[in-house]
Chains A and B, each alone.
Chain A
C-alpha cells in the first residue's frame, strides 16, 4: 500500500486532519497544487544564487501584478514585519542594524482602531509602536489626519471585505496618508480574488502584503509588493541581505528555500491564468455533495452560502440542540476526536461551517458522513 501523509504523521504520533476549515496556519496552511509541487521538485537539486533568484522572482511577480517591485517572504506576517521595518529605516544601513531599537527614527504606525487585529503584532516586532486613529466604530478623515504626526513612519491598513462605511476605505486612507507624506502598508493577505480586485489591492498602497498559501504555494510563503524604494528597503531586512550587509538585517530568521521561492512564482503565475469559474465550481460541487449527504438528518439543516472570499462559498450547518442533543461545538469536538480527524469551524452553539477548498477529492463525503453520524448518535 502506498505511504500517505497520514501514515507519516501517525509514525510520529501526530494525527492527520481532513481539513474543512481552509488555509489555516495551525492546520498546515496549504497543500501545494500539482504545478507548484512539480516546479519545486525540479529545483531541489540545483543550487542557485539566492540573491539573484529573489531579485528576478520579485521582478517577475511585480510585472504580473502591475507594480514597481516585489519581494518573496516566509509568509504574510513576515512581509508585514519587513514593511514596517522598511518604513522606519529606509535603506540606511545603520538604522537597519539598530532596530528594534528605533531611537532617532520615525517609529509610529497609525492604524484605525476599528481595524485592530491580532496580526498587527507584526508591525511591533521590528520595534514600531501602534497609534490608534478613531474609535471602535470607525474613523473619520479628520481623525486619521489628526493622528498622523511627525513621528509617523507609516499608516497600516487591513484590507478585508465587510468593514462598515464608518471605516475609511483603503483609497481614502492612502489619500490622507499621501497628503501627509506618509506611506501606507496594506495587509491584503488573502484578498486575491477576483483577479482585478487582487491587482487593485497590490497597486493601491505603497506596500501590499500577501500570503501565497492561498494560491497553492507552500504555507510558509508570501510576498510584499509596491513602490520600488520601499520594496528594496524591505528586502534589505531579509535573510540574504544579512549575508551581504555585514549581518545587520533583523529578518535573518525568516528564511526561505529556493524551492519555496520558485513555488511562489509558479503559484502566482498559475493563479492569474487558471479558470477560476471551474475552480469555484469544484468547491461548490463538493459542498453540494455534502449538503445532499446531510439532507435528511433530523435536527440538522444545511445550505451553501456565498462568502466574499477567494473560495467563494461554504456549507453552513445548523443543528437544533433540542433535537440532536448536542451543540455545534460538541459535534466539532467529536469530529476532532474521531478517526480520521476532521476539522470544521464553529460559529455559535447552533452553527458550524465547512469549506471544501482544502479538501482532497472524496473527503467531502467523509466530512458529511461524520457530521451526520455525530448528529445522529
Chain B
C-alpha cells in the first residue's frame, strides 16, 4: 500500500504501486503479516546462527523431499554458493584459494539458455563453457563439452518447452552419467506445489528465491544432495568460522529474522488456499481490464502467464488513435503521482503487461483510474 512514511519522505524517494511483480529493482517483496510477526518475535532474541541455519535447512529439506537445504541471501547467492561447493567439494585448501582454482573450474551451460544470472558461476571463480549452439543442444553435444576440468553442469528452469534443447531431466541424466553434479536455477518455480517439489528434487543443487513465497526480498535457499549442501553452507557467512575464515560468501549475510521469515513463508505457502490467491489476483486484473475497455485504440485482455502468477493483463495501444505509444504510457505511469510500475512494454513494442500479485487491496482501482486518464478515456 503506498503511503507516506518519515524515512522515504526525509530521503525524498517516492514509493511505487507495484503492478509488475516481485522485481528486485523495486524491493522484491512485502512479507505478509504472518511472516512479519514471527520475524519481529525473532528479532527480540539472539540464537546460535549455525544451529538456526541447520534446523531451518532440515525443515526445508523435509518439506521438499530432499536431503539437505541451506538458506541464503537470495537465489543468486544460492547459485554462487552452489558453484563454490562444486569447485571445492568441501576441501579447505581449495576454499581458501577461491576465486583461484586448480583448473577444475569449468561450469557447462547450454548456449541456448543464456541469461544474465550466469554471472553467478564466474563470481566464485568458475568458468562458463557452453555446450551446443544458439538454437539448441543435444545429449551428444553436452557429453562432448564435459571433460576432466568440469566442476558442474548448470541449467536454468524456465517455462516453455524447447524441442531443440535438452530438458532438465535429459541434462541431469547426461551429467549423472559423467559423474558431474548439476546446479539448477529454479528461482521462482514454486507453483503448483508438486511442481515446486519436483523442481527441488531435480538436481544435485537446486536454487530458489523466497521473495516469491512472501519471505523478505533478500532471501532464498539452495537444496539437494547433503554433501554438496554442506559444502555450500561452508562457503557462507556462518561457514566463515568453520572454514577458518576462508569462505567466499562472508559478505552474503542473512539476518536471523530473515531465516525465520523464510521458514514461516514456506509453511504458509504450503498451506494457503492457492485457488483463492489466484482468484483474488484475477479479480484485480478484471477490474483494470473493465476500466479501459472501450477506450478507442486500446485493447485490454487477460492472458495466461506461466508460473506462480498465472495471469497477466495485456494492454495493446494503437498510438495513431490514442496519440501516445506504449512506452509513453508506461513512462507517464512511472512519473505520475502515485508512481505506478508495470512490467513495462513487452516484446512487440505496443503492449504493456500488468501483474497483480504484488498489488495491495484497492490499488487496482487507483491503477484503473490512472490508466483511463493516461489513455484518454
Residues of A near any B CB (own CB < 8 A)? 3-9, 12-19, 25-29, 31-32, 37, 39, 41-53, 56-57, 60, 73-75, 77-78, 80-81, 97, 100-101, 118-119, 121-122, 124-127, 218-220, 239-240, 242-244, 246-260, 262, 265-266, 341, 343, 358, 360
Give chain A nearest CB distance to B336 CB in angstroms: 14
Q: Are B50 and A53 in contact (CB under 8 A)?
A: no
Other-chain residue from B38, B46, B120 in contact with A19 (beta carbon distance below 8 A)? B46
Please give the distance in Å from A187's CB to the nearest CB on chain B: 13
Query: What CA separation (Å) do A258 and B28 show in the bound complex?
Result: 9
29 A–B contacts, CB within 8 A, in A order: A4-B41, A4-B44, A4-B45, A5-B44, A9-B42, A14-B48, A16-B46, A17-B47, A25-B49, A28-B255, A28-B256, A31-B46, A44-B30, A46-B2, A48-B16, A49-B16, A50-B26, A50-B27, A53-B11, A121-B240, A122-B250, A220-B73, A247-B116, A250-B119, A253-B73, A253-B77, A255-B24, A265-B10, A266-B7
Q: Is the Cβ of B260 less than 8 Å from the Cβ of A8? A: yes
Chain B residues numbered 1-43 whose CB sits less than 8 Å from any CB in chain A:
1-3, 5-8, 10-18, 24-28, 30-31, 36-38, 40-43
Is A247 a contact of B119 with CB atoms below 8 Å? yes
Binds A, one of B52-60, B157-165, B194-202: B52-60
Closest to A125 in B: B248
Total A-B residue contacts, Cβ distance less than 8 Å: 272
In the bound complex, do residue A44 and residue B51 qualify as a contact, i.e. CB atoms below 8 Å apart? no
5 tightest Cβ-Cβ pairs between the two chains A and B: A5-B45, A247-B116, A253-B77, A220-B253, A78-B251
Give the distance in Å from the alpha carbon of A57 to the alpha carbon of B168 in the complex: 42
Let me know if B216 is at the binding interface, CB within 8 A.
yes
Q: What B residues does A13 contact at CB under 8 A?
A: 55, 58
With an 8 Å Cβ cutoff, the count of chain B residues facing the other chain is 90
Check A12–B217 contact: CB distance below 8 A: no
In whole Å, how far is B235's beta carbon from the nearest beta carbon of chain A?
11
Given contacts A56-B12, A218-B257, contact A254 B48 (CB under 8 A): no
CB <8 Å contact, A56 and B341 = no
Q: Return chain A residues, CB-CB under 8 Å to B237.
A: 25, 75, 77
B218 within 8 A of A: yes
* A5, closest chain B residue (CB): B45
Nearest CB of chain B from residue A86's CB, rounded to whole Å: 14
The answer to the question of B74 belonging to the interface, with a C-beta cut-off of 8 Å to chain A, is: yes
In the docked arrangement, what's the CA distance between A118 and B1, Å? 44
A262 CA to B216 CA, complexed, in Å: 14
In contact, A39 and B7 (Cβ under 8 angstroms): yes
Q: Which residues of A contact B14 (CB under 8 A)?
A: 48-49, 52
Known A-B contacts A12-B52, A78-B253; A257 and B26 likewise in contact (beta carbons under 8 Å): no
Give CA–CA (A151, B52) in the complex, Å.
43
Return the chain A residue nearest B40 by Cβ.
A37
Q: Are B76 and A243 in contact (CB under 8 A)?
A: no
B123 at the interface (CB under 8 A from A): yes
A5 adjacent to B25 (CB under 8 Å):
no
Whole-angstrom distance from the CB of B332 to the nearest CB of chain A?
Answer: 16
Contact, CB under 8 Å: B15 / A48? yes
Give the docked Cα–Cα distance between A25 and B250 (Å): 10
Q: Is B297 an interface residue (CB 8 A)?
A: no
Tell me if B26 and A5 are in contact (CB < 8 A).
no
Contact residues in A for B257 (Cβ distance below 8 Å): 218
Contact of A6 among B5, B45, B238 (CB under 8 A): B45
Query: Do residues A219 and B47 form an inter-chain contact, with CB atoms below 8 A?
Result: no
CA–CA, A44 and B40, complex, Å: 12
Query: Known: A28-B255, A39-B7, A122-B251. Is A56-B13 also a contact (CB below 8 A)?
Result: yes
**Does B44 contact A31, Cβ atoms closer than 8 Å?**
yes
Contact assessment for A47 and B52 in the assembled complex, using a CB-CB cutoff below 8 Å:
no
A100 interface neighbour in B16, B125, B254, Cβ under 8 Å: B125
**B255 and A220 contacting across the interface, CB-CB below 8 Å:** yes
A255 touching B74 by the CB < 8 A rule?
A: yes
Expressed in whole angstroms, the minimum distance between the Cβ of B299 and any Cβ of chain A is 27
Report the separation of the CA atoms of residues A262 and B54 in the bound assembly, to the nearest whole angstrom.
29
Residues of A within 8 A of B72 (CB): 253
- Contact, CB under 8 Å: A243 / B48: no
Contact B99 A5 (CB under 8 A): no
Given the complex of chains A and B, what is the CA–CA distance between A49 and B11 in angstroms?
12
* B241 contacts chain A at the CB level, 8 A cutoff: yes
Tell me whether B358 and A25 are in contact (CB under 8 A): no
Give the Cβ gap from A260 to chain B, nearest Cβ, in Å: 7
A26 lies within 8 A of B16 (CB): no
In the complex, chain A residues whose CB is within 8 Å of the CB of B263: 12
Contacting residue for B49 out of A18, A26, A100, A101, CB 8 A:
A26
B240: chain A residues within 8 A (beta carbon):
118, 121
Instruction: Report the minimal beta-carbon distance from B14 to chain A, rounded to whole angstroms.
Output: 7
Decide yes or no whether B360 CB sits under 8 A from chain A: yes
> Does B147 interact with chain A (Cβ within 8 Å)?
no
Decide: A100 and B99 in contact? CB cutoff 8 A: yes
Whether a CB of chain A sits under 8 angstroms from the CB of B117 is yes
Residues in B290-323 with C-beta less than 8 Å from chain A:
none
Distance between Cα atoms of A256 and B24 in the complex (Å):
10
Asked whether, in the complex, the Cβ of A9 is within 8 Å of the Cβ of B218, the reply is no
Q: Are A77 and B47 in contact (CB under 8 A)?
A: no
Q: Which residues of B contact A254 (CB under 8 A)?
A: 73, 77, 251-253
B246 at the A interface (CB under 8 A): yes
